[in-house]
Amino acid sequence: MKTAIERKWMGIALLSVVVPVGMLVAFKFSDMFRGPNELSTIEYPVLNLDFERPCGMIDLNKSLHRTTLIGDEASVTSDFSIGHYSTNLDTLDLGINISASVSDGFVKNLHMIFEEDCNCSEIVWADLNSLYDKPPFTSYVIENLRYENHVHLTWGAGVKARLWLSGVNQPKAIRFTGFADWMFQHVENETHILHFRSELVYYNGTHYVKVVLPIETTIWPDAGDSFETAREITTGDQNGYLWVVEDPEDWYKIEVKNGQAIPLNATPAPQPGPWQDLEVYLYNPNKELVASAAESEIDYTPETLNYAADISGYWYIQIVKVRAGGGGLYRLSVNLAGESS
């Protein structure tokens, strides 16, 4: 019969075997996550696109392009475009083009997500004949990808639409070209910020990599039509919209210190256009006109002025579209320079 001391030493010896074996199993289990099934994520900076909400039908022709090289193992290209805006339907056409190639390994899947913190809009994967079915691949271009699932027609805030595609036969290259409609509820004083991101997962020969390419599109309401309703801005660019009939002028205000120069430039957008004849007026904090850039004849060139502030406060900028009909975009660039007091 073993004594208590002998039993104690046997227990210690057994424990000395069990614990290392258990640790070895744990290490092996951990190694599984550091091997081929590991997923690393590369997220790129957000590309931004913003403009004033049009009040008429217009082809906006705006786009964001990005080509991403991940060493020598992969290349991902994305194009996000904004096309026709319809006032009657209150709808904006969106275009998505994503392609990728992998040198070693294969593309596993492509996931696209639209999100917006707004209840009065929705995203529809375009084709009215298949609103409640999978997207219409007759109007899409899909190479080496297979449809898996999708979501759209969601009015609530949050995720507005998703589309899942998976690689077919472990492809080294894929391409997706598709379209969506961004639909509103005729709430004209609402600012809409749409977040879109594509998530591409590929295998590089050793582990999986997820590439996240985010885009943000902001549509802000009318810039205002008086001192009281002027849109407050900081330095930089504003992409405004004017139409002689429905929206002939925009107002902005910017805080300026005494002694600072206010150089500004209003440039008609090349598309659509060039039928944009603009005039620019600058008012001081007392709402007195102090400078202007205007011509009596038709002029489609940029309007520029520079004025040194002699008082601190909000300065007002009035952009007016004259003579030429039709709606169009313009870019207002405002900078502040010099010493302030």
pLDDT, position 288 = 97
pLDDT, position 136 = 55
Mean pLDDT along residues 164-171: 96
pLDDT at residue 331 tops 50: yes
Which residue has tokens 């999978």?
134
Strand partners, 116: 158
| Helix (H) / strand (E) containing 169 | none
Measure the CA–CA gap between 60 and 269, rounded to whole angstroms: 10
What pLDDT digit, counting tens, does each position of 48-100 carry?
999 999 887 888 888 999 999 999 999 999 999 999 898 888 899 999 999 99
Please report which confidence band the pLDDT of residue 265 belongs to, taking 50, 70 and 90 as the band edges. very high
Mean pLDDT along residues 146-175: 93
How crowded is residue 169: how many other Cβ atoms within 10 Å of its Cβ? 7
| Three-state SS at 43 | strand
pLDDT, position 19 = 36
φ, ψ of residue 26 in degrees (nearest 5): -60, -40
Measure the CA–CA gap between 81 and 98, rounded to whole angstroms: 12
Measure the CA–CA gap between 286 and 311, rounded to whole angstroms: 9
Please report which confidence band the pLDDT of residue 324 belongs to, taking 50, 70 and 90 as the band edges. low
Mean pLDDT along residues 140-155: 90
pLDDT at residue 1 tops 80: no
CATH 2.60.120.380 residue ranges for the chain? 231-334
pLDDT, position 299 = 75
pLDDT, position 28 = 32
Q: What are the CA-CA distances from residue 259 to residues 273, 305, 340 (Å)?
A: 37, 16, 5
pLDDT, position 74 = 97
Q: Which of 128-142, 165-179, 285-299, 306-320 has the lowest average pLDDT?
A: 128-142
φ, ψ of residue 218 in degrees (nearest 5): -115, 125
What pLDDT digit, counting tens, does each position of 184-224 carry?
887 778 889 999 999 999 999 999 999 999 999 999 999 99
CATH 2.60.40 residue ranges for the chain? 39-220
pLDDT, position 24 = 33
What global pTM score does this model have? 0.80
pLDDT at residue 260 tops 90: yes
Q: What are the CA-CA distances from residue 243 to residues 224, 303, 321 (Å)?
A: 13, 17, 7
pLDDT at residue 7 tops 50: no
Which candidate, 226, 320, 243, places its Cα nearest to that of 85? 243
Mean pLDDT along residues 114-140: 74
Which candidate, 301, 291, 290, places its Cα nearest to that of 324? 301
Round the average pLDDT of the chain to a whole number and report it. 84
Strand partners, 65: 79
Strand partners, 72: none
Architecture of domain 39-220: Sandwich (2.60)
Q: What are the CA-CA distances from residue 307 to residues 247, 267, 281, 285, 337 (Å)?
A: 27, 18, 11, 13, 10
pLDDT, position 80 = 97
Mean pLDDT along residues 305-331: 89
pLDDT, position 21 = 35
Measure the CA–CA gap between 51 and 59, rounded to whole angstroms: 13
Please report which confidence band the pLDDT of residue 137 belongs to, taking 50, 70 and 90 as the band edges. low
pLDDT, position 340 = 61
Architecture of domain 231-334: Sandwich (2.60)
